[in-house]
Amino acid sequence: MAEVVRAEGLRRAFGQGDARRVAVDGVSLSVTPGEFLTVFGPSGSGKSTLLGIVGTLDRGFEGQLHLDGRDVRGMSDRELSRLRGERIGFVFQAFYLLDHLTVIENVTVPFLFTPRPRPRRTALRALQRVGLEDRAKDLTAGLSGGQRQRVAIARAIVHAPALLLCDEPTGNLDADTAAQIIDIFASLHRDDGVTVLCATHDERIAKVATRTVRMRDGRLEAQTDEVGRAHA
Amino acid sequence: MRTRELGRLVGRDLRRTRGALSTAGFGILAGTAALVFFLSLGLGVRAVLLGDVFPLDKIELEPKGGADPGLLALVLGGSSVPRIQPESVEQLRAMPEVRRVYPKLRFAFPSSARGGQALIGQDVGTSEMVGDGVEPALVTADVHPSWSFEDPWKQAGAACTSDVQCDADKYCEHPTGMAQGKCVEPVPVLVSRYLVELFNKGIAPAHGLPPVGTALLERASGVTFTMRLGESLLGASKQGSVRTVRGRVVGVSSRAIDLGLTLPIDTVRRWNEEFAGAEAGRAFSSVLVETRSTGDASVVIDRADRLGLMPRDTRARDVSVLVNGVTALLSLVATVILLMAGSNIAYTFRALLSERRGEIGLYRAVGAARSDVLAWQLSLAAVVGSLYALAGLGLGCLATVLADWLAATRMPDFPFKPESFFSLPWWLMAGAVGFGALFAVVGALGPAWRAAGADPRDGLMG
């Protein structure tokens, strides 16, 4: 089966001279379709940087990166933007909702740049998937933290991406709310076959993943296969 | 990004950041209003000065050293004054920048005129009169429809030796050396608007006479008067018999000689030959050249110089330079206001975009290209600039109306006082709005460029 992500020897450094810091150091990684992979590690280990590279938001890396079988190194900014708009969904720790918009308007934001037919109907389906269809017309400013993250997940899956990238998705949530969000990710993976790559230091996410890789000081340390299946 | 989605994005921004954008847009409003006011004032004043007072697309050329011969020259030997030969007129006609050429013949003999009782209740006259002969085609539009502007001598008429032998509306013109004259209609004459203004503002008040207003001017058409040919206060011509002819005012024309009477050129040619000799009837005293555009005037003047001709009046060009200079200065002030507005827009956008790093990062993550971010911000600036420039246009127009009203009600009357001091052509209005929008876009360009080029991770993953 073709890999959704195939990365070889990824390396990313910031700064120059004595201030130079290597955030990702020789990481090789592959994610197959339908897989739920967590990149587990402490803060500052390079997880978010790795996600930024895989999500094509960061172009200043060395190494090889293929998404959906396509080499992203030679792509223009517009081609990469289209790739993100069509094939990748992002969920961030800080949600990044636009509070001057309603819930459904937030979910349809990706369609501003990658138009689809019947955007509102598609967005409503995504909201149903995260259990928020009854709040579609509310402003996001009035939502709880858990609800905000569910809106962010709906926004990330509204265009049925090939890869869902999550960066510390439970980092701003209390334990109970985090558990609800983790359930949604597990359900998306289990029931809808969504491929997930999640950077986290929340062990509960690692438990629902099919595979976990550990990262420290920019390097992958160890790999645990089928952790998620064992806990499912 | 498609236009519809771009419009949606911009519309949301306009609603969300009304306050900040209003502050930024106010400068555009003020600058555009000032630009509209000053430019339309410059155009309006220029149109009056160059259209009515000193028409610039028409240059009157005369021989070098042949500046107005003056009354003394007329008396002492007008025919010796330098003149323009018909060959030079043909060379002027052949110039590509020249649309039309109208030669003129000035009276080469002394004369005087008297009349006006039917119009203002008493006769007024001048003991010295200057007359210009022009081609009818030059002034056709200014001639009252009831009359024609042709030499009456060309028409058929009964032979006569005295006025009593002619019909009531005709008189007996009896040229020197002819056994009999001919019953003809009075010679059609045009007067200048300048002359009317001079009479109204200078002569009429001094003599307690009524001014010649629009209604009276209409009545003036058809009024007859007498002209004494071959003799004036300063003396008599060397040839020809002094005689009296009749003239009839047939209209007011901006192309008529300022101080004097304007007659058909064929009439003046006859009289010049009669009182000053054949050369005075053949060669022209000046020539009016109509250029294809106002920009061609300087070229024609340069070429005419090689023919020994020079412009009679350089005031038009001087006035044009002055008006253009003042307008440019005032427009510069307006442009400085717009520049400051652009800088204000730049500051506002820099602040807005700094606040929105996360939002921009999100847009980049969900599929926005750098060019989409740039288009979004520049479109927002263009819409803000256009809206406030439109408001500025409205304010500027309002200011012109107010200024015209003040001028009409508070400013004393003066010659050539226009009904409006402003000219607002469509291109000026469109240009002002475009200019306002442009300054807003230029102001936003730097911040928008930086925002589009920023690393999206900075906004999202810190």
Residues of A in contact with B9 (CB under 8 A): 112
By the CB < 8 Å criterion, does A92 face chain B? yes
> How far does Cα B207 stand from its chain's mean position?
32
- Give the whole-angstrom CA distance, residue B184 versus residue B173: 7
Domain boundaries, chain A: 32-59+76-231
Contacts of A45 (CB under 8 A, 6+ apart): A215, A216, A217, A218
Neighbours of A230 (CB within 10 A): 10
The per-residue pLDDT for B89 is 92
Q: Which of A85, A94, A100 is the closest to B367 by Cβ?
A: A85
By the CB < 8 Å criterion, does A119 face chain B? no
By the CB < 8 Å criterion, does A217 face chain B? no
Contacts of B451 (CB under 8 A, 6+ apart): B353, B356, B357, B360, B373, B377
HSE (side-chain half, CA atoms, 13 Å) at A43: 4
pLDDT-derived band at A231 (thresholds 50, 70, 90) equals: very low
> How far does Cα B369 stand from its chain's mean position?
53
- The dihedral built from the CA positions of residue A203, A209, A213 and A215, taken in this order, carries a sign that is negative
Both tokens assigned to B363: 């847009």
Give residue-wise pLDDT tens across range A146-162: 999 999 999 999 998 98
Residues of B in contact with A91 (CB under 8 A): none
- Give the whole-angstrom CA distance, residue B207 versus residue B205: 6
Residues of A in contact with B363 (CB under 8 A): 109, 112-113
- Give the whole-angstrom CA distance, residue A209 versus residue A214: 13
- Give the whole-angstrom CA distance, residue A225 versus residue A194: 18
State how far residue B382 is from chain A, nearest Cα, in angstroms.
20
Answer whether B367 sits within 8 Å of A98, measured CB to CB.
Answer: no
Q: Which of A49, A55, A111 is the closest to B365 by Cβ?
A: A55
Q: What share of chain A is helix, strand, coil (3-state, %, to 5)?
A: 40, 30, 35
**b/e map A116-138, b = 16+ CB within 10 Å:** beebeebbbbbbebbebbebbee
Is residue A207 within 8 Å of residue A227, measured between CB atoms?
yes
By the CB < 8 Å criterion, does A58 face chain B? yes
Q: Which of A51, A81, A100 is the closest to B367 by Cβ?
A: A81
Answer whether A84 sits within 8 Å of B367, measured CB to CB.
Answer: yes
Residues of B in contact with A55 (CB under 8 A): 365
Residues of A in contact with B455 (CB under 8 A): 57-58
Answer whether A115 sits within 8 Å of B2, measured CB to CB.
Answer: yes
The per-residue pLDDT for A222 is 65
State how far residue B450 is from chain A, nearest Cα, in angstroms.
15
CA distances from B367 to A152, B378, B412 (A): 15, 19, 67
**Strand order across the beta sheet in which B159-160 lies:** B159-160, B181-184, B171-173
The per-residue pLDDT for A19 is 84
The candidate with the shortest Cα–Cα distance to A2, out of A63, A92, A56, A68, is A68
Q: What is the mean pLDDT of chain A?
A: 88
pLDDT along chain B (462 residues), means of 10: 87 85 85 90 80 72 68 51 87 92 92 79 80 91 87 91 88 90 93 81 77 63 84 86 90 85 94 90 90 75 85 72 82 84 84 86 92 92 92 95 92 80 91 90 91 81 56
Helix axes A145-157, A175-192, angle to 10 degrees: 20
Q: Which of A58, A92, A113 is the closest to B363 by Cβ?
A: A113
Is residue B25 within 8 Å of residue B384, measured between CB atoms?
yes
Give residue-wise pLDDT tens across range A94-142: 889 999 899 999 999 999 998 888 889 999 999 999 999 999 999 998 8
Nearest CA in chain A to B358: A96
By the CB < 8 Å criterion, does B5 face chain A? yes
Which numeric CATH code is attached to A32-59+76-231?
3.40.50.300
State how far residue B24 is from chain A, nearest Cα, in angstroms.
21
- Counted residue by residue, chain B has a size of 462
- Give the whole-angstrom CA distance, residue B395 versus residue B251: 41
State how far residue A109 is from chain B, nearest Cα, in angstroms.
8
The per-residue pLDDT for A232 is 29
- Beta partners for residue B187, in sequence order: B247
Between strands B171-173 and B187-192, the pairing is unpaired
The per-residue pLDDT for A135 is 92
Between strands A70-71 and A88-92, the pairing is unpaired
State how far residue B439 is from chain A, nearest Cα, in angstroms.
27
- Give the whole-angstrom CA distance, residue A160 versus residue A165: 13
Between strands A196-200 and A36-40, the pairing is parallel
The per-residue pLDDT for B55 is 63
Both tokens assigned to B179: 């056994």
Contacts of B262 (CB under 8 A, 6+ apart): B131, B132, B133, B134, B139, B189, B190, B191, B192, B253, B255, B256
The candidate with the shortest Cα–Cα distance to B373, out of B287, B451, B292, is B451
State how far residue A149 is from chain B, nearest Cα, in angstroms.
14
Both tokens assigned to B223: 């009024």
Is residue B84 within 8 Å of residue B114, measured between CB atoms?
no
For residue A173, pLDDT beyond 90: no
Answer whether A57 sits within 8 Å of B460, measured CB to CB.
Answer: yes
CA dihedral B238, B243, B246, B247 (to 10 degrees): 10
Is residue A5 within 8 Å of residue A27, measured between CB atoms?
no
By the CB < 8 Å criterion, does B359 face chain A? yes
Contacts of B21 (CB under 8 A, 6+ apart): B13, B14, B348, B384
Contacts of B179 (CB under 8 A, 6+ apart): none
- Give the whole-angstrom CA distance, residue B160 versus residue A107: 104
Answer whether A110 sits within 8 Å of B367, measured CB to CB.
Answer: yes
State how far residue B11 is from chain A, nearest Cα, in angstroms.
12
Nearest CA in chain B to A90: B365
Nearest CA in chain A to B8: A112
Q: Which of B9, B364, B371 is the closest to A57 by Cβ?
A: B364
> How far does Cα B317 stand from its chain's mean position?
12
In 3-state terms, what secondary structure has residue B27?
helix
* A-to-B residue pairs, Cβ atoms closer than 8 angstroms: 82
A67 or B411, higher pLDDT:
A67
Neighbours of A15 (CB within 10 A): 10
Per cent of chain A over pLDDT 90 is 56
Could you please report the per-residue DSSP string of B324-392?
Answer: HHHHHHHHHHHHHHHHHHHHHHHHHHHHHHHHTHHHHHHHHHTT--HHHHHHHHHHHHHHHHHHHHHHH
- Give the whole-angstrom CA distance, residue B270 versus residue B252: 24
Q: Which of B369, B372, B460 is the closest to A92 by Cβ?
A: B460
Contacts of B401 (CB under 8 A, 6+ apart): none
The candidate with the shortest Cα–Cα distance to B392, out of B82, B100, B13, B29, is B29
Answer whether B15 sits within 8 Å of A109, measured CB to CB.
Answer: no
Q: Which of A78, A109, A167 is the closest to B366 by Cβ?
A: A109
Long-range CB pairs of B422-429, under 8 A, 24+ apart, other chains included = B422/B37, B422/B40, B422/B41, B422/B43, B422/B44, B423/B40, B423/B43, B423/B44, B423/B46, B423/B47, B424/B36, B424/B40, B424/B43, B424/B397, B424/B400, B425/B43, B428/B36, B428/B39, B428/B40, B428/B43, B429/B36, B429/B393
- Give the whole-angstrom CA distance, residue B73 versus residue B235: 11
